[in-house]
């Protein structure tokens, strides 16, 4: 191939990448964005995320699960403590039982794979028991192991999420599991000091029931340069409410004002009975007996 043909091809490839980048940014924010100087497939996967709640009846291949868990284990981990575990459920009967209080979320049944991600201090507790050291000396009021485990499990799960998406799979986190500690403990044989934090439905997205990319707050609402500055917050949130309303209309979703809805949800978080069990499980998430 002549040099000029190669140059033309690389110019076309660069233009296509720029177009893809602009489209991904515009879709995420629903406002025209400046073109990035560089882009790559990893960014396309990250910006293309959407929660998937409609799946094909096609199993998740074992190699895909293996790759996603390897990605999860490749996440950073505070002090490399790796304070998390995940239970993979494929048995339809067990999945149905795990709909726990979220029976309307048919995507838990529909997804061929349901992962329950837990903060896990039990492994280190067993180590402490084996070497009969330290276990009793730790301060149960120290919230640091809890915070560390929550961060670890979140980073790991999100790495798995991106890995699944990079393989063409879709997923949806399920937060309600937090409030069903005892039920999950029984169903999944979880030992003490293993606290389920969220579930994750995984499967191949059904192309006949597609989901759009949900807009996010403008970057200026979350990115502060040098010092925190919320001066423009009200205007930024008002504009976001409008973009969310537009998104809901296009996706035929129930119309709710994002700022009202999020406040209501935030203040009513954990009003269900399971709150006490969840709080107690979190409080016990230390090595103390």
Ligand X SMILES: Cc1cc2nc3c(=O)[nH]c(=O)nc-3n(C[C@H](O)[C@H](O)[C@H](O)COP(=O)(O)O)c2cc1C
Evaluate whether 57 touches 112 at the Cβ level (below 8 Å). Answer: yes
Evaluate whether 121 touches 145 at the Cβ level (below 8 Å). Answer: yes
The least CB distance from residue 150 to ligand X, in Å, is 11
Q: For ligand X, which stretch binds (CB under 6 A), given 67-75, 121-129, 170-178, 270-278?
A: 170-178
**Binding of ligand X at residue 262 (CB under 6 A)?**
no
Query: How many Å apart are CA 108 and CA 172, to the nearest integer?
Result: 9
Candidate residues 214, 237, 239, 241; the one interacting with ligand X per rule CB under 6 A = 214
Residues sharing a CB contact under 8 Å with residue 225, sequence separation 6 or more, in sequence order: none
Candidate residues 24, 149, 169, 172; the one interacting with ligand X per rule CB under 6 A = 172
Coil, helix or strand at residue 172: strand
Q: CA dist 232 to 226, 228, 239, Å?
A: 16, 11, 11
Instruction: Decide whether 194 or 288 has the Cβ nearer to ligand X.
Output: 194
**Binding of ligand X at residue 46 (CB under 6 A)?**
no
Candidate residues 20, 143, 198, 239; the one interacting with ligand X per rule CB under 6 A = 198
User: By CB under 6 A, what part of segment 88-107 binds ligand X?
Assistant: 105
Q: For ligand X, which stretch binds (CB under 6 A), given 88-96, 109-117, 174-182, 261-269?
A: 174-182
SS3 content of the chain, % helix, strand, coil (to 5): 50, 10, 40
Strands 194-203 and 170-174: antiparallel
Instruction: Decide whether 145 or 205 has the Cβ nearer to ligand X.
Output: 205
**Binding of ligand X at residue 210 (CB under 6 A)?**
no
- Kindly report the length of the chain: 289
Alpha carbons within 13 A on the beta-carbon side of 150: 12
Query: Measured at CB, which residue is nearest to ligand X?
Result: 175
Instruction: Decide whether 128 or 240 has the Cβ nearer to ligand X.
Output: 240
Kindly state the number of chain residues that form the binding site for ligand X, as judged by CB under 6 A: 12
Contact positions vs ligand X (CB under 6 A)? 49-51, 53, 105, 172-176, 198, 214
């Amino acid at each position: 191939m002549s040099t000029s043909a190669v140059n033309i091809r690389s110019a076309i490839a660069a233009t296509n990448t720029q177009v893809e980048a602009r489209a991904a940014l515009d879709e995420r924010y629903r406002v025209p964005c400046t073109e990035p100087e560089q882009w790559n497939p990893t960014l396309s996967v990250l910006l293309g995320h959407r929660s998937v709640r409609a799946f094909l009846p096609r199993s998740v291949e074992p190699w895909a699960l293996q790759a996603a868990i390897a990605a999860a284990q490749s996440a950073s981990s505070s002090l490399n403590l790796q304070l998390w575990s995940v239970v993979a459920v494929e048995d339809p009967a067990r999945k149905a039982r795990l709909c726990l209080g979220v029976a309307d979320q048919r995507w838990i049944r529909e997804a061929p794979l349901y992962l329950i991600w837990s903060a896990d201090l039990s492994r280190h507790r067993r180590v402490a028991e084996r070497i009969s050291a330290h276990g009793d000396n730790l301060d149960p009021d120290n919230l640091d192991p809890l915070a560390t485990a929550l961060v670890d499990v979140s980073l790991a799960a999100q790495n798995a999420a991106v890995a699944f998406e990079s393989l063409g799979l879709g997923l949806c986190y399920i937060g309600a599991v937090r409030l069903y500690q005892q039920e999950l403990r029984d169903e999944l044989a979880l030992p003490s000091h293993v606290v389920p934090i969220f579930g994750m439905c995984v499967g191949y997205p059904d192309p006949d029931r597609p989901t759009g990319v949900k807009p996010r707050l403008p970057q200026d609402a979350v990115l502060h340069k040098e010092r925190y500055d919320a001066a423009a917050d009200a205007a930024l949130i008002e504009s976001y409410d409008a973009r969310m309303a537009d998104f809901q209309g296009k996706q035929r979703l129930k119309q709710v004002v994002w700022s009202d809805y999020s406040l209501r949800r935030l203040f009513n978080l954990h009003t269900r009975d399971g709150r006490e069990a969840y709080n107690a499980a979190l409080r016990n998430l230390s090595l103390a007996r």
